Every structure is written in structure tokens, then in C-alpha cells.
Amino acid sequence: MDAKKRVEWIYRTKNNEQLSARYDEWAKNYENDLEEAFNWIGPERVTEVFAAHVAKDAHILDIGAGTGLVGMLLAKRGYSNLTANDLSQGMLDEARRKNVYLELNAMVLGEPLDYKDDTFDAGVSCGVFTVGHAPASSFDELVRIIRPGGLLIFSVQLVAYETTGFKEKFAELSASGKWEGVAVSDKYQPIPKGEPEVWHRIWTYRVR
Ligand SMILES: C[S@@+](CC[C@H](N)C(=O)[O-])C[C@H]1O[C@@H](n2cnc3c(N)ncnc32)[C@H](O)[C@@H]1O
């Protein structure tokens, strides 16, 4: 399957079992397809924002880490206390080969996460909150496992933001005092070379 069809095939996924199986199948070619065919710049953008806000000794969860592109960039910037989670074991197996994560955990966002309250100083996520992927309800658990004062820095695909409950969930977490907004980036195209046309923004929230 060519790279463009692969991305459309991923977006058309109907449930977590299918999504996990598709990412398992894609894992070995994911980086070639995204970087060569599409010039995937999401991880660079997200880590740039992250590095402007988070101290180097922070205990960090890479949320939906995939093959570890974000972790690799964070390691290059001097971060070393990194945990990865993802629903696809195939993607996590690729991430393990990067040798930058102390732990890698198969877990499903949108379901209860097997971490204690306040486990992490910060969470980072790139490309995970998008059409057919992790739901807005994921953030109920993410604000639980990041300590008060810690940061969540993540991209959201803008169609998903407007139409699948992210906008409402973010407002609800602000209104209930679970987090406060710190910054929102300008919109940008994380796959500037490719179709379908995709736009992201990066949100930064401080957990309370
Ligand atoms: C486009 S990839 C991004 C991977 C990596 N963060 C990057 O920047 O290259 C999306 C990742 O999110 C994971 N994912 C999607 N839905 C998820 C869910 N509900 N729970 C956990 N991981 C999920 C997929 O398995 C996949 O590895």
C-alpha cells in the first residue's frame, strides 16, 4: 500500500482493535512513509514547544508514543526520564529499539490507565488526538496521572478538535479547575507535503 493510502486507511479505522492491528502492521514502515512521503514535522513542532516549558529532569510520559520519534527528539535535547505508552505493541516494539525510554507500556487512552495519581511531571503527545484515534475523554485520566503544577503539551488535529468533543472537554476541565490553559500554538500542517490536508495546533495546559 502506498503511503497516502496508508494514512487514509488509518483514518478510516472503526474501533481500537482495528486501529491497534493496523498500527501493528504499519509499524516497520511508519517512519519511512511519514517522513519521506509526507515530511512529517509534528514531532519537531511538539518537542520545540515542550522544551520551552519543561525542565530536563522531568519525569515524562510520551502519550501515544508510536515508534518513538518524540522520545528520540527529547533525548537529543537532554531529557532522559521518559516513559512511552501506546495501544499498538508493534509500534512500542519499534520505540524500544530507540533506547530512549525507561519504560514502555501498552495501554489504551480513553480507558483507565494503569498509573498512580500524580505519577508524571509532564505529558507530551503528537499526532494521537485525531480522527479515529484517542478520544477527548482520554484527558480525564491524563489530568489524574500528571502531578498538580505539571504540564500537558499535545497536538490536536483541528477537525477532530471542532467535531469530536475536544473543544468541549478542554472547556469542561478548565471550568472544573482540573487544569488551566498556558498557550495554544498557531495552526500548522504537520504533513506539509501530503494529502489529505491536515492542520494541527499544540495546546499547553497546567494541571491543577
Ligand atoms: C500518528 S501516530 C503518532 C505516533 C508518534 N507520537 C509520532 O509523533 O510519530 C498515532 C499513535 O497513537 C496511537 N494511538 C491511537 N489511539 C490510541 C489510543 N486510544 N490509546 C493509545 N494509543 C493510541 C497509535 O497506536 C499510534 O502509535
pLDDT above 80 for 3 = no
Residues written for the chain: 208
Specify the DSSP element, H or E, that contains 208.
Answer: none
Q: How much is the mean pLDDT over the chain?
A: 95
Judge if the upstream peptide bond of residue 43 is cis by omega within 30 degrees of 0.
no
Residue nearest to atom 8 of ligand 1 (CA): 126
Taking the C-alpha atoms of residue 172 and residue 130, their distance in angstroms, rounded to an integer, is 19
Atom of ligand 1 nearest to the CA of 62: 6
Does 136 score more than 80 pLDDT?
Answer: yes
Instruction: Answer whether 191 contacts ligand 1 (Cβ < 6 A).
Output: no
- Answer whether residue 196 shows pLDDT above 80: no
For residue 139, is pLDDT > 80? yes
Cα of 41 from ligand 1 centre, angstroms: 15
pLDDT at 195 over 80: no
Q: Domains (ranges, CATH) in the chain?
A: 3-207 (3.40.50.150)
Distance (Å, whole) CA 123 – CA 200 = 18
Q: Which whole number is the average pLDDT over 83-99?
A: 98
Torsion sign across C-alpha atoms 191, 193, 195, 199: positive
